[in-house]
Amino acid sequence: MTAQITVTEGGIPHNKVMIMGLVGSLIAIYLTYLNTLMGTQAFSFFGGFGAIAALIWGSSTIKRLCSYGIGTGVPSAGMLAFGSGVIGMLMATKFGMLTPVLALIIAAIVGAILGFISNNILNMRIPVMIQSLTELAAVGALVLLGFSAMATGGFSMATLTTATTTVLGTQVASYTASLIGGSILAVLFMLGAIALQHGFNACLGPNEKQDRTLMLTAECGFLSMIMVAVISFAFIGIGAAVLSLLISLVGWYYTYTQFFALSKRDAASWLDAKPILEVESEA
């Protein structure tokens, strides 16, 4: 199976999008560590920014992979990204400051293995399959880590598995009240996977434009970020949670209006399009 891969006219090459998404995601996730250094939770929202940067990278990767005629694979690519990414994310949370980098590396290894199996055992024979699944697994890990850090204020295993609850007026540690113990990670899984795959899935077609596709991905990312901000009220202080929610709402409004403007621009370019006339066959 072969196809020519080209960047949308006037668009940014995929490798550049990948580098910006990777670096931006890592920097934003590491900025949440300011919570630990400064004894606050106010910087939790940076985790959401890290997730969105990774989502934009992943949306570009899905477009590149699905240009090989596997359009029905767009939603499944999003699920596979997070199914493999969660492995790297969870394994890396035990290593403190190295967590974001190790999550990226471990997830990439898992993705590369899955890409090899897809091409050489399942015989899909797609030239960019191994690289794309490697990237998508890394994206899944970074998005989950970013949203987790936003919801809880940190990315360590202790932060994600320990919370407090009140028993007879006394604060006690509770695993079931934590992000992982309470299965909130599954919610973050779906919020990230839907945001990852929806951009290209909604915009694909003969008039698809890179800026519109990536803007929709960012808009979906901020929409998920709003949900994560609401979830964060259960884990971090009210002030920090409100700050995250306000920033998420502003980001969503901006990206939504920008996507709407880009949609009108592209729709206007089709106003003078003529219908395709079907030639009737002679009986």
The domain ranges of the chain are 14-164+175-264
Please give the share of the chain, as a percent, with pLDDT higher than 90.
60
| pLDDT band at residue 11 under the 50/70/90 scheme | confident
pLDDT at residue 268 greater than cutoff 60: yes
| pLDDT band at residue 281 under the 50/70/90 scheme | low
Burial class of residue 9 (count of CB atoms within 10 Å of its CB; 0-12, 13-18, 19+)? exposed
Contact 52, 222 (CB under 8 A): yes
pLDDT at residue 181 greater than cutoff 70: yes
What mean pLDDT do residues 206-219 have?
91
What is the CB neighbour count within 10 angstroms for residue 3? 13
Position 201 scores a pLDDT of 86
pLDDT tens digits for range 32-87: 999 999 999 999 999 999 999 999 999 999 988 887 766 556 667 778 888 999 99
> In this predicted structure, which of 52-61, 127-136, 176-185, 254-263 has the lowest mean pLDDT?
176-185
Contact 218, 56 (CB under 8 A): yes
Average pLDDT, the chain: 87
Q: Which letter does DSSP use for residue 97 in this model?
A: G
Token pair listed for 52: 């969105």
Look at the pTM and tell me if it is higher than 0.75: yes
pLDDT at residue 12 greater than cutoff 70: yes
**Dist CA 5 CA 64 (whole Å):** 7
| pLDDT band at residue 168 under the 50/70/90 scheme | low
Q: Which letter does DSSP use for residue 240 in this model?
A: H
Greatest mean pLDDT among 66-70, 112-116, 157-161, 249-253 lies in: 249-253
Residue in 99, 103, 60 with CA at minimum distance from that of residue 204: 60
Position 166 scores a pLDDT of 61
Please give the share of the chain, as a percent, with pLDDT higher than 70.
85
pLDDT at residue 275 greater than cutoff 70: no
**Dist CA 45 CA 37 (whole Å):** 16
Three-state SS string over 161-192 comes to: HCEEEEECCEEEEECCCCCCCCCHHHHHHHHH
pLDDT at residue 96 greater than cutoff 80: yes
pLDDT at residue 7 greater than cutoff 70: no
- Residue 254 corresponds to which amino acid? Y
